[in-house]
Chain A
Amino acid sequence: MARAVSPRRRMFTTIAAWSVALIIFFPVLWMILTSFKTEASAVASPPELFSADWTVENYVEVWSRSDYPRFFWNSVVISLGSTLLGLAIAIPAAWAMAFVPGRRTKDLLMWMLSTKMMPAVAVMIPLYLLFLRLGLIDTRIGLVLALMLMNLPIIVWMLYTYFKEIPGEILEAARMDGASLPKEILYVLTPIALPGIASTLLLNVILAWNEAFWTIVLTTTKAAPLSAFIASFSAPQGLFYAKLSAASTLAIAPILILGWFSQKQLVRGLTFGAVK
């Protein structure tokens, strides 16, 4: 039964929710506002939220000084590529863990997840040397592989959670109906788990898009994505906050728009199975 909520309590909850949302969004808002300021007003003390001299000069300069479309395209290829490759590996893995669990399946999942807790810097040297030997430094395929490996535990874990919600009898029925394992996954499991797969895809595209450690360490110019594009605006003479903000706004804009339009799917996917 739904619990009655008093108007006062509802108002308090609304104010609290908006406050939290504003606190989280404030740095992004600050960045966007700064990107339209002059360098002088960007570093003014005391800081000013709104500037008197609005300008789009920073965007013009950032655009003319660098090859934004190339960085953008690299980001698209790397984030989508790593996610799709990750899904291709994770779907059969999650299938096996969800429907043919062994005695150590839970331990295996925990171990996979624990690798995410390892500081990336701990494997930086071995991975860098390995990539150097394999000729993968500053290549898109190298970054696709690296980011896929970084996000694979999360993809497997998320898919495992979704697959566990699917009754095993449906897959057994497919087996009785003559479906081979690839057909069972293609025709039955994947379409049923599509909402879960879609939200996994979205979340991992966002994670890969925002990744800044490996993308900077493993690239120089050719395969550099938008995270490296932002970093390239930190000059030896110091930081130019307004230009840096313009570059950052340009870098996050595509993923922000994607996130905005897919937020329903993301929330649905992330809470899938939480409430029956």
Chain B
Amino acid sequence: MGKITLKHVNKSFGDVAVIPDINLSIEDGEFVVFVGPSGCGKSTLLRLIAGLEDVTSGQIDIDGTDATYLPPAKRGLAMVFQSYALYPHMTVRKNIAFPLKMAGLPEDEQEKKVQNAARILNLTNYLDRRPGQLSGGQRQRVAIGRAIVREPAAFLFDEPLSNLDAALRVTMRQEITELHQSLKTTMIYVTHDQVEAMTMADKIVVLNAGNIEQVGSPLELYHRPANLFVAGFIGSPKMNLIAGAAAQAQGATTIGVRPEHLDITDSGPWRGVVGLTEHLGSDTFLKVTLDSGEALTVRAGGEVALRHGDRIALAPQAGKIHRFDADGKAMA
């Protein structure tokens, strides 16, 4: 079991409220990603759930039990840190066995569980090495192994892939997702990378300045952002946001169109000049400056012949325009 409920959770450091008031329910077995820009409070929220920080007010329930004032070890959660936080003086075997040793498990049982975790994570050949002798990916696996052996109610990941190179990040992303599918344990994952959030999550929680902006599935957030912040944050490249006459024509203060929802067509209402072009092979991203001054990003096919300085006309696809009011909230 791993149902976690946050009720009016508040965290302040002195007079600064980092988390003003959060209510959130995480269901058993869900893969939930906290995403948001740096300083939005996502790591603090994770640390509150872990028990590494005390809440200022509010309640945290784990599997229906009030865990607000329980020490970290008594919450039945396991955490994987950004820096891996492996014990440098212990071998991989001892690192993975450490939580079992602390729980007072007999040594033969410890060894059995260590071997099992090592098999799942392809670490069997590295059990007698020290963390300093491992690559970044292997270290991250050891950190995950140390979490797995505890058989926790939920796994907490605090930006676990940020120290890895781009290629390894993709591999580890897939491994963690597969691990979730095989263990079916609740996972809470913190990242500032919205691509990680989109590819891994069952449910994304978008945070901004300590507040939840929107909770939903990746595609829900992508297709129906609740406000301008979510619209601008989710999606890569970012959604184009246009104010002024074009928005007023749609009865909104601001409108948003994703780069893939703009067609290059002679009859398009928005005219402008092509600036930068980014060729990715499968796609080409064009930076277009409209005559009205707005800069838009347009996704075109891989073999687009447009070049810097070319004039083009753009048309938003029907039904793909997001409308926002003066408060930045999405309009129906």
Listed in ascending order, the chain A residues whose CB lies under 8 Å from chain B are 167, 169-170, 172-179, 183, 187-188, 191-192, 194
Contacts and interface: CB of A to CB of B under 8 A. Distances in A.
B88 A176 contact: no
B85 A173 contact: yes
A192 B85 CA distance: 12
A192 B87 contact: yes
B212 to A, nearest CB: 25
A172 B81 contact: yes
10 contacts: A169-B82, A170-B86, A172-B52, A175-B52, A176-B50, A176-B77, A176-B78, A177-B73, A178-B102, A192-B87
B89 A167 contact: no
A217 B88 CA distance: 46
B150 interface: yes
Interface of B: 50, 52, 71-73, 77-79, 81-83, 85-89, 98-99, 102-103, 146, 150
Given A172-B52, A191-B89, A192-B89, A178 B83 contact: no
A182 B91 CA distance: 21
A177 B77 CA distance: 9
Contacts of A167: 83, 85
Contact of B85 (A172, A187, A191, A194): A172
A197 to B, nearest CB: 13
Contacts of A170: 85-88
Contacts of B83: 167, 169
User: By DSSP majority rule, is chain B's interface helix, strand, loop, or mixed?
Assistant: loop
Contacts of B78: 176
A188 B52 contact: no
B73 A173 contact: no
Closest CB pairs A-B (n = 9): A178-B102, A173-B85, A177-B99, A178-B73, A169-B85, A191-B89, A169-B81, A176-B79, A175-B72
Contacts of B102: 177-179, 183
Nearest to A173: B85
A176 B157 CA distance: 13
Contacts of B85: 167, 169-170, 172-173
A173 B79 CA distance: 7
Nearest to A184: B102
A133 B52 CA distance: 48
Nearest to A188: B87
Contacts of A183: 102
Best-buried of B82, B87, B103, B150 by chain A (most CB within 10 Å): B87
Nearest to B79: A176
